[in-house]
Structure formats: C-alpha cells, structure tokens
Structure 1
C-alpha cells in the first residue's frame, strides 16, 4: 500500500471507496476534453466502476489530493492473463482545472514507486489516439509504442509500454 506523500499541500494516497462519486466526476471532466463532440454514451456506471476498482484486492487506485480536493487519479493492476511482472495503467486523469501544475508528474512518480515496490518490470497502457495532451505527457515520462501491440486499422487507442525496472 502507498503511504501518504506530502509536498506542500499535496498528498498522494490510496483512494477510498466512499470517494467513487468524486473520482467518477473527475474522470468525466478529464475525458470530455478529448472528445470534441462530447463523451460517448458508453453505458458504464462510472461511479460503480470506480468503487469496484478501489475495492479490488489485486488493484490500486491512487489519488492526488490538494487542500482536501481530489485533483488526479490513477488505477492499475496486473491484467488477467499477463505475466505477474506486468502492470497495466487502466486510468490516469488529472482534473483539467489543475493541468500544468506538476500533479500528473507527481502521481506518475508515485505509480512508479508502487510498481517497483511490487516487483513490476513492465507497465502498459492504452491511450486514446485523439488525446494529444496525454500522449505528449506519457512521452515525456518515457513511455513508447508497445511493439507487441501495434495499432490496428480503425483502432482509436495506442498501446504504450514503459520499462519500470529501467532496463
């Protein structure tokens, strides 16, 4: 489990189940920025999905909190069927009102610390192809295209990979 990390008023900690509604709202605000025609109706109850993610015994949901407000979230775990040393970053969102304040970088660093503590060697993620801001952020953090999963024709996501162990 991640211990609280304090930098000024920022704390990065494990999310609580009771925060699922606030996390889902942040998720919607962040996702809406890269869908020019509005968020697609995916039929998912995101509050329930986030509550389930927080309560998963095999997963982690971290949140950045500033002055009592959740400003960023990250959800990760080893995906079913993947090697134990692989972790997938399923969700990573910074509230748009807090972009360019170092929150994403701090949360990414906390994820890396947890992955290393858990003995992970490789991290993977899918990023929406139209989310240029996220793609640039991941590139700055050292993520690159996943050679094992090249983009398919018509796919709206790119698969990225990160060498957690630094190798």
Structure 2
C-alpha cells in the first residue's frame, strides 16, 4: 500500500476517514465541471458514500495533499463482477484549480504502482460521455476503449481499459 509518496510539493497517500468531507467536496467541484446543466440531484449522500469508500477493507482511496489540502483523489478496488486480475477505477478527480499541473499524472502513476503491487494486470473505468477533458487525460495515460464493453445506445458513459503492466 502506498504510504506518503512525496513528489515535489505534494504527498500522495491513503485518505483517512476524517477526510471524507474534504474528499466529497473535491468530488462535487470536479463533477460540476462536466455537467452543463449542473450536477444531477439524485439524492445520493456523497459524504456518507465517501466515508464508506475510505473505510472499505477491500478498496483503496488515494489522495494527493498539497499545502495541507486534498487536491486530487482516486478510488479503486476489484469489482464484484470483474476478473480477479482487474481493478476498477471508480473515481478519479483533480481539483479544477489544479488542472494541467501534473497532479493527475502523478496520482495515476501512484495508482498504477499500487495495482502492480496488488498483482493486477488490467484496470477498467467508465467516464461520462460529456467529460472530454477526462477522456483526453485517460488517453494520454494509455487508456483505450474496452473492446469487451462497448457503449450501448443512449448510454452516458464510455468504458475504458488499461494494461497495468504495459502489455
């Protein structure tokens, strides 16, 4: 497990349960950027959701801390319906005030390091079709459309795959 990976002016480490509110706030700010009509209000309690995610024994939530503030987060685990050698990246967000600073690439590299340590061969994710910035970021990191999971008509997400060991 990654513990306090210091890179330049920031630290990448496992998020703590007491940081759930900060993580949920960053998540909300990042999501708001790709919903043209505002983030859908579906009744989800994101604070409770992030608290549970951080405390999951079978998952990881990494955060990037800069000057005492969480500025990027990544949440991943083996999904119930996925092969054991595949990890699912559920959430990956960089605070919009820190886009294009290299924090996302550094956090992604830390995720890959953890996936390799966990013996994962592949990673999967889904990204909102309107989130072109994230799609471009993932493409730069080496993610490709998942050939086993093409989007269905009317689907609001694209499904991507990543070869963890660079296969």
TM-score, with normalisation over the residues of structure 2? 0.99
Query: Is the counterpart of residue 164 in structure 1 residue 164 in structure 2?
Result: yes
Q: Tell me which residue corresponds to 2:106.
A: 106
Unaligned runs of 5+ in 2: none
Q: CA deviation at 1:165?
A: 1.6
Q: CA deviation at 1:8?
A: 2.2
Q: Tell me which residue corresponds to 2:47.
A: 47
Q: Secondary structure at the match of 2:34?
A: coil
| C-alpha distance in structure 2 between counterparts of 1:42 and 1:115, whole Å | 32
| C-alpha distance in structure 2 between counterparts of 1:116 and 1:8, whole Å | 23
Q: Tell me which residue corresponds to 1:25.
A: 25
Q: CA deviation at 1:159?
A: 0.2
Q: Secondary structure at the match of 2:54?
A: helix
| C-alpha distance in structure 2 between counterparts of 1:99 and 1:9, whole Å | 15
Q: Tell me which residue corresponds to 1:65.
A: 65
Q: Secondary structure at the match of 1:33?
A: helix
| C-alpha distance in structure 2 between counterparts of 1:45 and 1:67, whole Å | 28
| C-alpha distance in structure 1 between counterparts of 2:62 and 2:119, whole Å | 18
| C-alpha distance in structure 1 between counterparts of 2:2 and 2:124, whole Å | 20
Tell me the alpha carbon deviations over residues 39-64 of structure 1, each in whole angstroms, 9 at most, x when there is no partner: 00121110110010110000000000
Q: Tell me which residue corresponds to 1:146.
A: 146
Q: CA deviation at 1:9?
A: 2.0
Unaligned runs of 5+ in 1: none
Runs of 4+ in 1 over 4 A off after TM superposition: none
| C-alpha distance in structure 2 between counterparts of 1:116 and 1:66, whole Å | 25
TM-score, with normalisation over the residues of structure 1? 0.99
| C-alpha distance in structure 2 between counterparts of 1:39 and 1:24, whole Å | 13
| C-alpha distance in structure 2 between counterparts of 1:113 and 1:75, whole Å | 14
